[in-house]
Every structure is written in structure tokens, then in C-alpha cells.
Structure 1
Amino acid sequence: MAVYIDVIVDISVNSLDRIFQYRVPEELLDAVKVGCQVNVPFGSGNRRRQAYVIGVDTVLAYDASKIKDILGVTKAPAATGQLIALADWMHERYGCTMAQALKTVLPVKKSVKEVKRTAYFLTDREGAQQLLEKSRKSRREKARVRLLEAMLKEGCMSKETVTGVLQISASTMKSILQTGVIREETSQVYRNPVRQRLDGWQEVCLNDEQMNAVASIWQNAAICREHWSREQGMHLLYGITGSGKTEVYMALMEKVLNEGRQIIVLIPEISLTLQTVSRFYARFGSQIAVMNSRLSAGERYDQYMRAKRGEASVMIGPRSALFTPFDRLGLIIIDEEHESAYQSEIVPRYQAAEVAARRAEMSGALVVLGSATPSVAVYQKAREGMIGLHRLTQRARTGSRLPDVKVVDLREEFRMKNRGILSQSLHEAMDACLKRGDQMMLFLNRRGYAGFVSCRSCGYVVKCRHCDVSMTVHHHTLLKCHYCGSEQPMPRVCPSCGSPYIAGFGVGTQKVEEFVQKEFPKARILRMDRDTTSGKDDMGRILQTFSEGGADILIGTQMIVKGHDFANVTLVGILAADLSLFAGDYQSSERTFQLLTQAAGRAGRGDRPGEVIIQTYQPEHYCIQTAAAQDYDSFYSQEIRFRQMLHYPPDRQMMVMLAEGEHDQQTGQAVQKLREIAGEADFEAVEFIGPSRAGIAKAKDLYRYTMYMKHQDIKELMRLRDFLEGYLKWSQQFSNIYFTFDIRES
């Protein structure tokens, strides 16, 4: 009986986003399974294309004369049925093609050659001794004698030793194996993705708050397996910095593992992987698998296959780890849930917490969102009882307390003729910290040497030729674009007026490092930003060196202030607190508050008091004041009033449409036309903002326009998206312009 498969062809074109049917040749029947990838002849030219199998059947749905045979089955790991269903949900929810959704839920795109290790074991000592005596009598069996003598002494040997050190040929080895005195065993070797470890977990006793959080979350586990709901299935663990959220995670993980179920732990930054994995490895050992973008293709493949084969029960990684092929999933943890890294910036533009909720519903699993500075939207749901809320209000380590925070007004420093990077207060605190032998961290939300290059004579700013953004100085002589990566030499004279007075303005981590080294020449300084962590193991090396006391000062960007726990750090300096405050985004105050609170939380995590100094030009701003006080609830009460007044999420749901085209005027007109079309249809209740130029008006030679749409019901925005996409497909009027729609649920 013929077998047919339903497939989605890997072509991201809406008109071809449908099911196609192919026949499976008899010799490939055993290899074809739902979720695997196959090669098919596609179109009139029978071009070879990759496709995803979403169904296997014996029923023919089309004309038999038009059905083609598949060409082969790839060795890439197959998706489980649950991940296929998840891809279908993402296809509907985020408006992407099914092929794009399937590519997203298959984190390992291709098969990688597995590493095998061969070893030889002595199975018959008496027989081997007799064979050795016999071989010694022959001058032609010296290699056999070497091997038997070594095996009788060692008992077992690796293939590398046998062939390399003893120089035994394949033919000699084959003849001895045939005697049965030695046996050969081949096993798979997994490439180790974690070559560096920090001091790991040490057993601690949970305090009352931590035990209450574990108990109240876990009491919902059995309920969720029977009937999942957000109220019982999703939980916010809101705890101040240093309150021991990780210990709560691990207590829950142990309960899940004891039931034979599996766990996904999401972390937002690669920089957190080393410390997080070190803790979890120390507690759970070989049950841990790791996934991140810096792993080699072979390492990613091995980690994926360990999870798929059931050899690992815990996957730790960024948002893509959500698609680990676990079939007994019991818990999803999203650490630092407020981080923007959980929002995908490529199609499908999914939000990790939304997808986690959907996957948990399919599996009957718990979802725990953890943060010291929860996103406003998540905290509102927790306050209103839509998800569980569990608070940790005190630091877990005995003797540890929140640091003392001082806000320094940089305007006053300027009036006092202080033109340096460090305020007088921070300079004095650093000097005292170094004299005590403690460590410190200096945080700046910038990288490179200077913010931009400008001419003092005419005001000209050097911009990227491909993107409408200023270039940044690196290593004094090189300009880089942080959007497209293009480079050009630093000009000696102004390209506009010819003036020699052209220089870098602003401050970056490299300049901070040079200034601090000059002020404190005996201090040992490490810098951690994208430029110093470009190598695969650079980030881990820097963190390990600092953790082991190999440096006094760690200077860096956002990656140094999120989640790290260094007991010897007693001072944190925030050099320019308000750099992110005026980013032209309704969430800029929230992000600034989160960054400052997280940065301040790095100080005083040991048994010595901590000190934080925040340098700012906006000391009176509520996000600066509440961050200094480590008072999230006060920040939330002021921020939510701002959102409600202007109808921003979470008060309203919002959809962003981005249009990118090669011609400026045509792209702007296209967005205006879509607004008019939507206005003529039945979408009066939707609030429109724009169209207007995007924050980055030009990137990679494409002009960019945005339009924002707000409504209380997310389904209405999804209906509007489908309507506009349908119009674009029908009219073909703007086929040379690329449109994306991003609906962000609040």
C-alpha cells in the first residue's frame, strides 16, 4: 500500500504557505516520521527543496498523476508532535508562514557528524596469555606481542592509544578481535559546551519566604496536569536582588525531576550562562544540557540530541531553548523575565513568555517568571490575580542587606569645574574600596570609545553611509556602525567644511577604562563589552578571572549588571544613569529603572555592606529616585498612571507595523495608504499613531516607516493584521516593500 506525506515546503512566501502531498518510496518508509525534514522536487522545474513532514497517511488527497516521490530524508532531528502543534499556533498567533514557524521550533537546522569513541577491553586473560606466548615465537608478530602485553597490563585501552602509541595496524587489530580475547566497544562522545566553571552551588537552608514560595507554586502542579489555566499554571516570583530566587528555582526543579519530568530554564544573556550553569551543574550534574548562540554546530547538535534521547532532563539557554524536544515537560523557568532579549526581533516575532504559556498548557507544566524588576505588564497581571504572585522581600545570605545608594547630580559636578568621567563622590569611594581590598563594578550602557564624531566648527556628525545613525569611534582610528557593521577610518578633517576640529564626543567603556587606569594606576582592571568578548570563551574567562579575585575593577555594559553574584563587590558606580532615559520609547523609564536597580543589586551581596553611586543629569526623575530607593512598587504606581493616561500597554494592546523599502517617498506613501484602507474598513475603535519615520529611519540601504495601532482586544488587532496582509496580497501594489507586523500582548 502506498504511503503519502503532508508537507510544508521551506519557502517563506504566503501564496505557497499550504500543505503539499508527496509519495514515499518503499525504501524510505522506515526513515519518514512526523516532524522530520525531507527533500522534495518542487514546481514545474522539480527544483530540490527542503520540506517538513506534518502528517503521514495512506489516503491520497490529490490526483495520483500529479503526486511526486520524495527525493530523500535528511538526518536532522525530527520535531515532536507537540512542537508541530506549537508551530501551528505560532503561525496563527504571529502571522508568519508555517514554514517560518517550523524553522523556529527546530533549533538544530542540520545534522552534524557525531563523535564516536572506540575502546578495547580484555575479555579472556588466560587466552590472551596463551596467544602472547605463541606470538613471541614468531618474528613477524611483533605488533601483536606489543598489543597483548599492553592489554594484559592495562585491561583496556583507547583506540587512539592502540593506533597511535602502540602503532597497531587495522589488519592486526582485526585478526586479534577474531580470536575473542579482546572485544571492541564504540560509544558516542558528546562535545562539552562548558569548559569553564565558577564556584558552584552549596547546600543552603531556605528561609521562610523561599519555602512559602516553593510550597505555594508547587501546590498547583497536580492541578495543571489535569486542567491547565494561567491562574494556576503561571507564577511571578518577585524578589529583591540577592533574595535567593535561584534557590527557589532549584527546589522546584528537584521536585519536578523526582517525578521523572523535564525542565527548561531560560536566561536572557549569554553572560549569565557560566554562573547559572555552574550552579546547576553542581546541583544536578549530568542532567544539565546547555544551548546558546556561541556553541559550535556540533555542540548544539549534541546538546539537542542529549535532550531528545532523554539523556538530559534540564535545558538551560536563551529563548530558543523553549523548543527543546522534551515529551515530559514539567516546568519552564524564565529568569529575569523583564529582559527585552525574550522578544524575538525576527519573524516570527514571538514573546518567550507567551510561547512558554502555550507550551506549558500543552504539557500540563508550570511556568515561573522570576525578576527583581518585573515588567509592568506582568506585574499588573500578578496584582490582578491573573497569574500567581510570590514575593521575596529580604536578601537570602545571612548578614547581607540592600546597599546604600547615593545619587550624584552631574550638573553640580559641572558647575564645580569637574569635567572628568568620575564624580568626586565616586572617585573617593573607589579609592576607599581599593584600600580595603574589595572589588567594584563600573557600569556604562555604552560600548566603544565615544558616542559620536562631530565637527566643532560646523556641527557635522559622521553617519553611516548605509544607515541613518552616527558612527562610533573604536581604537581611536576606526569608525563603526553598530547596526550594519560597516567600518571606515576616522576622518582627519571635517568632510563637510574641511575643519581640523573634528573629534569624538561622549564616553564609552574603552575611554572609561583608560581614564580609570590613569586615575588608579595600581588597580587591576577588566573591561567586559561586545568588543572584549568577541571570542567564544572570552566572556567566561573575564567572569572567572573577576570571580577568583584576579581584578579589582570590572568595567562594562549591561552584560555585567544582570544576575551576577560576586560576594567581594562592595561598590557599584553607575556612570551615566540617564543614557537610556530618552530613547524615544514609551518603555524607556521602565528599562532605565530596571537597569539601575539590577546594577545597584550587584553591591553588598556578601557579608560586607555595599555602596552604590548613581551619576545622573536627571536626579529628580521618578525612575531614578525609585531605583535609588530600590522601591519597585512606587515606580510601578507612577509608571502605570503614565501608561493609562496615554493608552500604552498594558492599558491597551498594541501592534507595530514596520515598512522597509528602497525608495523613501514610495515607502511612506504605502504606509499612509494602508492607514486609509484600514480607516475605510470596520476598524473605527482602533487607535492609529503615525505613520512616521522609524527611530532608525534608514538601515542597510532601506528606508523605514512605522505605524502603531492600539486596541483593548488583542483579537481585534490580529483581525486588522490579517485584513492588511490580505489587502497587500490581493492588490500587489507594494510588492517591492517588506511589511512586518508585531503584536505585543500586554
Structure 2
Amino acid sequence: MYANVIVDIEGMSAPGPLTYAVPEALQAAIAIGSYVQVPLGNRQVLGYVVELPPRYEGVARPLSALLHPEPVVNRALLEFAAWMSRRYHASLAETLRCIVPEGLATRLRTLVSLTAVADPEAAAASLARRSASLAALVRLLAARGPIDTRALREQWPGKDLAAALTRLRARGWLKEERRLQSRPVRAREVIAYQATLPAEALAAAAADRERRAPAQARALRLFLEHPQPLPQREAVRLGAPAEALRTLAREGILQAERVTVRRTPWRGSGSSPTAPPPLTQAQTEAIAAIRETLAAGQHDTVLLHGVTASGKTEVYLHAIETVLDQGREAIVLLPEISLTAQVVEVFRGRFGEGVALLHSRLSAGERYDEWQRIRGGEARVVVGPRSALFAPCRRPGLIIMDEEHEPSYKQENSPRYHARQAALERARAEDAVLLLGSATPSVESYTLARQGEYRLVSMPERIPGRTLPTVRVVDLRAGGSIGTPAILSPELREAIADRLQRGEQTILFLNRRGFASFLLCRDCGYTARCPHCSVSLTLHAADRSLRCHHCNHRRPAPATCPQCQGDRLRPFGLGTERVEAEVQACFPTARLLRMDRDTTAAKDAHVRLYRAFRSKEAEILIGTQMVAKGLDFPGVTLVGVVAADAGLNVPDFRAAERTFQLLTQVAGRAGRGDRPGEVLIQTFNPEHYAIVAASQHDFEAFYAREVDFRRELGYPPFGALVNLLATDVDPAAAEARAGRAA
């Protein structure tokens, strides 16, 4: 018996599977999708079994070990990974890493360090003239010693670590060591207690201890209410002291045992059962159309085009109920992790413990437990961002992609997949229905729907009692520059003051984090730039640092100009931190929250911010695009767009579409309760068709202008574009390679 194995070595792309002989002791357990350890040259590496051929004509070395008792990837997902490998020009090992959760199985760690370089600083200096990033790598290796390549990738500011290590290896400066790391995550076991006496005897024992041992009496009454094994931590939380539990166990009244418990990622989110609300006519018709598609039992794609607050989530819930009744599973994709708290509360209220959550902010243990629940069929509804598409569902019948237009569904690192295209392929392979939902569908999806490739279902009105907000466009050309201290126009300041007086909430939107876009010397024109990406560094006021939002390079902001030593360094441009400071200065008693990548970096920070604002712990929420995507705050009656032009001048053919979508989506956060909403859009370009259409809630008008522009220039959906990226530690070599490709 033989096994064809895709070896998993970061930075190395094998041309195809390698064949190994399967030892007799492993033949009964090995299967397609098994995770194994195999020899390669003079070292041991890891890999995935993709085929079990009965014969092999060459000489095959024996497979070393089976690292997990069950296959870590099923056949359907293996075929999906192979499709992604072909489609996105990535190695099969890379695409399989998307599917197998980190921490599930043994990993091969590669530790790198410098060889005996006499003077690392001199070596770095010799490289600095040609490649600052390579010099930075030498200094980092000299300072850190042996370091895991994954940790190195996070700390080194360059872009192509594999190429940089190759350059050091060629000079004889690199020492490499590979170590197998045992599976760090296993099922979690805790001590639990269970009563050994029948209920009557337990009640008598509690009564007997009421006076002489009241703590033990409380514990015994607790086990009258909980006959099943109760984890010690839970018993203590419910009022039974740990010492009382141990005493009762020694006396034989309670029995202590180790039980497996699930690590929960819910963080206290409510899960009380909720009844479906009455449906609108539009919801009823949309649900009927989707159920008809699901009943066919074959692959199809539906585009649900519904205005903000039209009730698309309720349509999703009914569609999921239908597919669960068919004995299949559902995957729900969201554009942002920040949306999971709200969606999980709604979905758990309808489907209880049958909902699983998958995203990168979970701990390795939480991901492991959720992955096991999905694979075992215990959880049949999976919620998460684009990575949830790879959930190990047995028979997915429905894939929902909420806010399908969002660019966050595109992964920037290899494999550079777009979740919409990948979801389309998985749905096709699984004979499942793909349901795309949006108030502002992408031009590509809407064109395919109009051409009949997708089934178009429309919900043109908000649910009763929620009217679309009124929109006012504030022309900033009449009031000076947005670079002046008056970031908020008089109209917007007046509207905020009015909401504060009425006890209502406000959202202020600016799609740029930080305090200022850049720091400029008024004497010599110096601008601080990233040494690796050649882009201006953003000023962050909280720690007075300059940061690159591409590679995360950071350094302290200088007090004087490094170029001319002048003291007239001034911040220019806007960021959410600066808006926050301005609003606090204008309204010193108002309670503010800020939601951007800086404030949500910590685990569960987005959940805490969402709940704090929803429970009205703050009157004003300031944020980037995170606040524009699907969040439901009934208390918000005002949305202010600080700088609507921010994305219009980006060198991207989708700039107008992205601006229209963001403005429409953030406007949709207003008036979702029982009070009407208002939106103020500050702009220097009030005549632009994207801003005009967004202010009028007119998707069709925007689409008509945009699709003509795309057709004329051959942009998608009338043509295809590919972005070729040339990387090298030597800038001249990268430029030459790019020139040859062009």
C-alpha cells in the first residue's frame, strides 16, 4: 500500500505529491485526508495524504507516522483545495492550510538564525545600500537568535521573507533548524461533580447539614437541581464553595470525575429562544423564491437585493430553517469579525447550540472545539468571515454571503482568493445554493443577475415603521478647507448637539484610522515615509507614533524635522483619532467610543464595543468602515460622513463604486428604531454621481452610470484584470522582473 503525499513546507512549493510506502501497522488507519509525517532528504516533514494507490513502480521510502487518528480534511474539501490551487496559482499545501485549523495537528517549525558572522552590524551595513529590508532582517536575526519563521514574518517589515532568506542562505549567513511541534490543542478536560444519592436521600442530607455545615447544604441543594455532572467552576459560580464540594466527595455523597467540556467562543452572548417576527409581503415573496430554489436540490445562485433595514436577516433565517429540514447544513459568511457578535446573538436565538462560530480571533482551543462540533454534525449552522467557507460541513446545502459586495472578502496573501468566487465553486461542487445578499450589490453580481445567470430577488422597502433616512449633502467648498481645525461643519455640529439634547445616538464615519494622514515639515517639506513601502506614515496620537498601515512598521514621531531640524512639523489630513479629539473638544460631556483596527485589536474588543454602544453607554460612535457594515443600533438617528471624498481619488476603477457602497451602507445605520434617521454627507464634490446617487438611495441610477463606464473601458464584468506583483529583496531586480512581465 502506498500514499501520495503533499508535503507542507512553508516557503517551498513541491511540484506535486510524493509517494511513500505505508507501513503495515498504519494501513488500517490511514485514509485520504490524513495528516502524516514523512522523510524528505535528510529531514522529517509533514504532509497530507491525497491518494492511496495500490501499486508504485519506483522505490518508495516508508511513511514515518500518522499524526491524527482521523482524516483532517474530507474528499470534498480536498477537491475544493485542489480547485483553489489551480485557480489562484497557489501550492496545494497553501490551500490546505486554509482548511485545516491551526493547532489541530502537529506542525513543523522552522527556526532560523545567523551563522558565525563576525560582525552582524557590518554585514547589515554592507547590505543597507542595496536593500534596507534585507539589512533589517540581518539585524533582527542577530538580536533575536533562533526564531520561528512565522514569528519572524510578523516582526520583519519586508514583504517576501522566502526570497530574503534565500539571499542570506546563498551568502552562507543562514542557519536553519526544523523541529516537530506536538499538537498543542486537545479536548479540554475538567473536574466535575455528580450526586451519588437518589433525590430523597440528597434532600435529607442537605436538611441534616443546614445548621452545622450550611455551605455543604447549599451544594447539595444545587445538585438536586442539576443531576447531571456539573463542572467545578460552574458549581462554584452557582454558589457551592470548592471546599464543600471536595468534602462531600470525600464522604462519598458526591463523585468527582474528569469530563470533556467545550471551550465556548460566545463570551456571554444571549441565546434565549426567539420567535420569528411577522413577515412583510416582500420578505414572504423572497423566502418563497429561495425555498423554491432550495427545493430543486441542485446548485443555483440567488442575489437578494434589499435596501438597508429591509429584513434580509430574517430571510436568511427562514432559508436556513429550510435547508436544515432537508438534513443539510448552512454556512453564513460575514465581511467583518465585528459583525459576528450581533449575528451570533440573532442566530443562536433561533437555532440554539446548533450554531458554530469560526474566525481568526478565537483561541486555538476554541477553534479546535468548534471545528470538531461542525465535523461531527453537532453544529449545522456555521457563522464567520471568509475563512468560515472552509468549515468541514458534511453536506452543505446553503452558503449565505451577506454584504457580498465587500472587498474584505478578498484575501491579500496567498492563496489570494475571493470568497465570492470560491463560494460559487464550493456550492457548485456540493449541489448547494449560494445566496448573495446586499443593499448595494457589486456591479459584477448585479450584471450577472440581470443577464439571468443569477436569480434576482428584490426587497425595495424597509420593514414597516422604519423609513429610509433623509440625506443632506454639505458642500465644504463654501466653508474653507477640511484641513482646518473645523473638521465638523456647522450643520453637522448642530445636528450632533440636537441628538445629544434628545438623548439619541450618533455615528460619525471616516474611512481612515489614526490621527493624521501624514506629518509634514512646513519649512522644508519633509514627510515621514515607510522605508519598506515608500508610503507616508500615519500619525497616531495615542502613543505619538508614526505607523505604516501596509507593513506595520512604526517609529516614534519626531519632535523636530529630521531633515532640517526645524520645529514646524504639522499633522495633515484626517483620521478617526483626530475626529475623536475634535468631537470631544466640541462636546466635552458626551461619551464617545471609537471603532477601528486600533481599538479592536484585542481579543473580543469588537464585541465589547458593539455591546457598549447598543446598551447606550456612549452617545457617539466614531469609526471606519467597520461601522458601515450591517450593525443594528436602534438608538442611532444621525449618521455623519466626515469626508465623503476620501475614497473617490484612489487609483482604482472601483473607487466610485466603493464610495457609493460605503455611503449607502453607513447611511443605513440611521433610523433603524422607532425614530426617523438623518444623514449628513460632508464633501468637496457634491455633484459626483456616486455621492448624488447615495444621497438619493438610488442604486439603479448609480449602476446605470457605472456599468456604462465599465463597458466603455473593458473593466469587469466586461473584462478581467490581473494584478502581477514582483517582489525581491533587491529593488532593481524586482523592477526588472516587473518590466519583463509587462
- What residue in structure 1 maps to residue 550 of structure 2? 483
Name the amino acid aligned to 2:45. Answer: R
Percent of aligned pairs with the same residue?
43
Q: Distance in 1 between matches of 2:370 and 2:95?
A: 22
- What residue in structure 2 maps to residue 334 of structure 1? 401
Are the structure 2 counterparts of residues 123 and 657 from structure 1 closer, same or farther at C-alpha, using a change threshold of 3 Å?
Answer: same
> Are 2:46 and 1:50 equivalent residues in the alignment?
yes
- What residue in structure 2 maps to residue 115 of structure 1? 188
Q: Distance in 2 between matches of 1:290 and 1:592?
A: 30
Q: Distance in 1 between matches of 2:55 and 2:256?
A: 48
Q: Secondary structure at the match of 2:441?
A: coil
| 2:39 and 2:61 in contact (8 A); partners too | no
Q: Distance in 1 between matches of 2:230 and 2:295?
A: 48
The match for 1:69 among 47, 63, 74 is 63
Q: How far 1:123 moved relative to its partner? A: 5.0
- What residue in structure 1 maps to residue 80 of structure 2? 86
Name the amino acid aligned to 1:56. Answer: L
Give deviations 1:435-482, integer Å, cap 9, x for gaps: 111111101111111110001112111112222111111126221221
| 2:483 and 2:572 in contact (8 A); partners too | no
- What residue in structure 2 maps to residue 11 of structure 1? 9
Name the amino acid aligned to 2:349. Answer: A
Give deviations 1:617-643, integer Å, cap 9, x for gaps: 111111111111111111111111111
Give deviations 1:368-388, integer Å, cap 9, x for gaps: 000001011011000111111
Are the structure 2 counterparts of residues 185 and 77 from structure 1 closer, same or farther at C-alpha, using a change threshold of 3 Å?
Answer: farther
Q: Distance in 2 between matches of 1:153 and 1:339?
A: 49
Are the structure 2 counterparts of residues 33 and 435 from structure 1 closer, same or farther at C-alpha, using a change threshold of 3 Å?
Answer: same
Q: Distance in 2 between matches of 1:457 and 1:503?
A: 10
Q: Distance in 2 between matches of 1:245 and 1:148?
A: 51
Q: Secondary structure at the match of 1:221?
A: helix
- What residue in structure 2 maps to residue 237 of structure 1? 304
- What residue in structure 1 maps to residue 519 of structure 2? 453
User: Gaps (5+ residues) in structure 1?
Assistant: 133-145, 676-746
Are the structure 2 counterparts of residues 342 and 127 from structure 1 closer, same or farther at C-alpha, using a change threshold of 3 Å?
Answer: closer
Q: Distance in 1 between matches of 2:406 and 2:218?
A: 61
- What residue in structure 2 maps to residue 362 of structure 1? 429
- What residue in structure 1 maps to residue 360 of structure 2? 293
Give deviations 1:353-408, integer Å, cap 9, x for gaps: 22112111222111100000101101100011111101100101x22111110111
> Are 2:263 and 1:191 equivalent residues in the alignment?
yes
The match for 1:222 among 291, 295, 314 is 295
Name the amino acid aligned to 1:573. Answer: G
| 2:103 and 2:364 in contact (8 A); partners too | no
Q: Distance in 2 between matches of 1:655 and 1:401?
A: 41
Name the amino acid aligned to 2:57. Answer: Y
| 1:288 and 1:313 in contact (8 A); partners too | yes
| 1:39 and 1:74 in contact (8 A); partners too | no
Q: Distance in 2 between matches of 1:639 and 1:126?
A: 72
Q: How far 1:417 moved relative to its partner? A: 12
Q: Distance in 2 between matches of 1:83 and 1:484?
A: 32
Q: How far 1:76 moved relative to its partner? A: 8.0
> Are 2:281 and 1:208 equivalent residues in the alignment?
yes
Are the structure 2 counterparts of residues 600 and 490 from structure 1 closer, same or farther at C-alpha, using a change threshold of 3 Å?
Answer: same
Q: Secondary structure at the match of 1:659?
A: coil
| 2:328 and 2:396 in contact (8 A); partners too | yes
Task: Trace 1:328-727 onto structure 2 (pairs within 5 A).
Answer: 328-396=395-463, 398-414=464-480, 419-475=485-541, 477-675=544-742
**TM-score, structure 2 as length reference:** 0.81
User: Gaps (5+ residues) in structure 2?
Assistant: 106-184, 206-214
Give deviations 1:493-536, integer Å, cap 9, x for gaps: 21222221112111211121121112112211111112222221
When structure 1 is superposed on structure 2, of 154-163 and 83-92 the one drifting more is 154-163
Are the structure 2 counterparts of residues 77 and 539 from structure 1 closer, same or farther at C-alpha, using a change threshold of 3 Å?
Answer: farther
Give deviations 1:77-133, integer Å, cap 9, x for gaps: 61111001111111222221121122222234524121124434445659999xx9x
- What residue in structure 1 maps to residue 330 of structure 2? 263
Are the structure 2 counterparts of residues 163 and 21 from structure 1 closer, same or farther at C-alpha, using a change threshold of 3 Å?
Answer: farther
Q: How far 1:304 moved relative to its partner? A: 0.5
Are the structure 2 counterparts of residues 196 and 149 from structure 1 closer, same or farther at C-alpha, using a change threshold of 3 Å?
Answer: closer
> Are 2:317 and 1:250 equivalent residues in the alignment?
yes
Are the structure 2 counterparts of residues 417 and 647 from structure 1 closer, same or farther at C-alpha, using a change threshold of 3 Å?
Answer: closer
**TM-score, structure 1 as length reference:** 0.81
| 2:472 and 2:679 in contact (8 A); partners too | yes
When structure 1 is superposed on structure 2, of 462-471 and 19-28 the one drifting more is 19-28
| 2:399 and 2:427 in contact (8 A); partners too | yes
- What residue in structure 1 maps to residue 22 of structure 2? 24
| 1:34 and 1:78 in contact (8 A); partners too | no
Q: Secondary structure at the match of 2:638?
A: strand
Q: Secondary structure at the match of 2:539?
A: strand
Q: How far 1:665 moved relative to its partner? A: 2.5
Q: How far 1:556 moved relative to its partner? A: 1.0
Q: How many residues align?
A: 642
Are the structure 2 counterparts of residues 167 and 274 from structure 1 closer, same or farther at C-alpha, using a change threshold of 3 Å?
Answer: closer
- What residue in structure 2 maps to residue 722 of structure 1? none
| 2:101 and 2:368 in contact (8 A); partners too | no
| 1:472 and 1:481 in contact (8 A); partners too | yes
Are the structure 2 counterparts of residues 525 and 186 from structure 1 closer, same or farther at C-alpha, using a change threshold of 3 Å?
Answer: same
Give deviations 1:207-230, integer Å, cap 9, x for gaps: 1111111111221223243xx3xx
Q: How far 1:648 moved relative to its partner? A: 1.0
Name the amino acid aligned to 1:55. Answer: E
Q: Distance in 1 between matches of 2:218 and 2:523?
A: 85
Q: How far 1:538 moved relative to its partner? A: 1.8
Q: Secondary structure at the match of 1:570?
A: strand
Are the structure 2 counterparts of residues 357 and 611 from structure 1 closer, same or farther at C-alpha, using a change threshold of 3 Å?
Answer: same
Q: Secondary structure at the match of 1:658?
A: coil
| 2:2 and 2:56 in contact (8 A); partners too | no
Name the amino acid aligned to 2:339. Answer: L
Q: Distance in 1 between matches of 2:462 and 2:216?
A: 61
Name the amino acid aligned to 2:487. Answer: I
Q: Secondary structure at the match of 1:612?
A: strand
